[in-house]
Structure 1
Amino acid sequence: MSRVAIVDYGMGNLRSVYRALAHAAGGESGLEVTADPDQVRAADRVVLPGVGAIGDCMIELNRLGLTAALIEAARSRPFLGICLGMQALLTYSEESGGVDGLGVLPGRAVRFPDGERDGRGRPLKVPHMGWSRVHRPCRHPLWDGIEDGTWFYFVHSYYVIADDPGIIVGQADHGCRFAAAVADGPCFAVQFHPEKSQDAGLRLYRNFLDWDGSWT
């Protein structure tokens, strides 16, 4: 199996991501959890997970010297951003008083507005926490074997607004329709947690491990 770097900057649910990837891969060979920029550069595939606030995330990525390696990897080989890892790839986030991201994906993260209601008039909570359907506006290799409208598990208070609607490959609803998955070249990022999304999440991980980074 190819070398897969799971980036450890102190803010990811690394054990769950590692176990899910190992299950999808049929073993742990080739998987490495690392905070070393050189190991990220040497990997064939990179996974950037994350939970927490974007301000702390960017502080840690900079402190560890990971930013340049992550930008390079996201533009040159199969790369998967998960939840906070997705938002770190953006140009900007309103969270933490306003923070610049890695700038790989053109867009920004904004907070869900308070006081929104669902179609039955029930108040919608922030953070958005739980299962939501993900709808696919287009095809992508990472959706292979996953039906349109499949349920995935979310935990987030901020959502992505893409500058280029063409990078949106998955959408979900929580008071508004938002980008649940975006892709640009070899970079694919999701707002939901595949490792908490049962069979569909494991299938997405398997697809990522088999993906050559092309998207036509």
Structure 2
Amino acid sequence: MIAIVDYDVGNLKNVYTALGDVGLEGIITRDKKVLDQAEAIILPGVGAFSDAMENLRKFDLIDTLNANVKKGKILLGICLGMQLLFDKSYEDGEFSGLSYIPGEIVKFTAPNIKIPHMGWNNLIINRESPLVKNIGTEDYVYFVHSYYANPVDFNDVIAYAEYSVKVPGIVQRGNVIGMQFHPEKSSTVGLQLLKNFKEILS
């Protein structure tokens, strides 16, 4: 059973449905006992970084997430959920994140690019990983974001997209994984990525 963290940041049902499409049983919850018992945890998210962190505090979920990550349980952050995995964000101020992956969330600054970065981009593999099994440079995924991850160590990046800079698309440090794009909105490529995620769990 995969716990999808319910902290009032939207897009939960799409993630739940996508898990079912690849044969994974999901449960939308903020119950700490359920999170502790889950095989893995997914942290979804749409919206502002500061609001998301505030909601995690409001529902008293940070210590539970920390404890599960510390004991080696796989945590997958999606979109805003991936950004929360880093040390801090500069979205509308400066705000601390969960600090599972060293780095910061910064704004696109190149001239003449559209912000938010919205649409389909192909993934460029930075290093080998079971997460990108059967994924190639002709495979496109769906992004919607105005800020991107700037990791301390680019070896934490499994795959990236080009959008004025190298935009980390899939990151991993140990048992903590992030996807900046929406696998649940990325058609057959997204389903392949979730299948790969499933294989990692087995």
Normalising by structure 2, report the TM-score: 0.94
Separation in structure 1 between the aligned mates of residue 104 and residue 162 of structure 2, nearest angstrom: 17
Which runs of at least 4 in structure 1 moved beyond 4 Å after TM superposition? none
Q: Distance in 1 between matches of 2:170 and 2:140?
A: 13
SS of equivalent residue, structure 2 residue 22 = helix
Distance 1:101 1:81 in 2: 12
Match of 2:27 in 1: 32
What do the CA deviations read for 1:125-151 (whole angstroms, capped 9, x no partner)?
100000011101111111112223421
* Structure 2 counterpart of 1:131, one-letter code: W
**Residue equivalent to 2:186:** 197
What does 1:5-154 correspond to in 2, within 5 Å? 5-25=3-23, 30-75=25-70, 76-113=72-109, 115=111, 123-154=112-143
Whole-Å Cα distance in 1 between the matches of residues 136 and 68 of structure 2?
Answer: 29
CA contact (8 A) 1:92 1:98 kept: yes
Task: Give yes or no for contact 1:78–1:211 (8 Å, CA) kept in 2.
Answer: no
After superposition, give the CA deviation of every residue in 1:30-51 in whole Å (9 maximum; x if it has no partner): 3210012221111111111100
Sequence identity percentage: 38
Q: Deviations over 1:139-185 (max 9, x none)?
A: 11111122234211000000000011221111111111121111011
Q: Which amino acid aligns with 2:106?
A: V
Measured after TM superposition, the shift of residue 84 of structure 1 is 0.3
Provide the alpha-carbon RMSD of the alignment. Answer: 1.5
Name the aligned partner's letter for residue 109 of structure 1: I
Q: Distance in 2 between matches of 1:71 and 1:150?
A: 33
Mean alpha-carbon deviation: is it higher for 39-48 or for 50-59? Answer: 39-48
Query: Which amino acid counterpart does residue 41 of structure 1 have in structure 2?
Result: D
Aligned match for 1:182, one of 171, 174, 178: 171
Asked whether the equivalents of residues 6 and 28 of structure 2 are also in contact (C-alpha less than 8 Å), the reply is yes
- Per the alignment, residue 198 of structure 2 pairs with 209
TM-score of the aligned structures, taking structure 1 as reference length: 0.88
Q: Which blocks of at least 5 consecutive residues in structure 2 are unaligned? A: none
Instruction: State the Cα distance separating 1:114 from its structure 2 match.
Output: 5.5
Rounded Cα–Cα distance in structure 2 between residues aligned with 1:145 and 1:155: 24
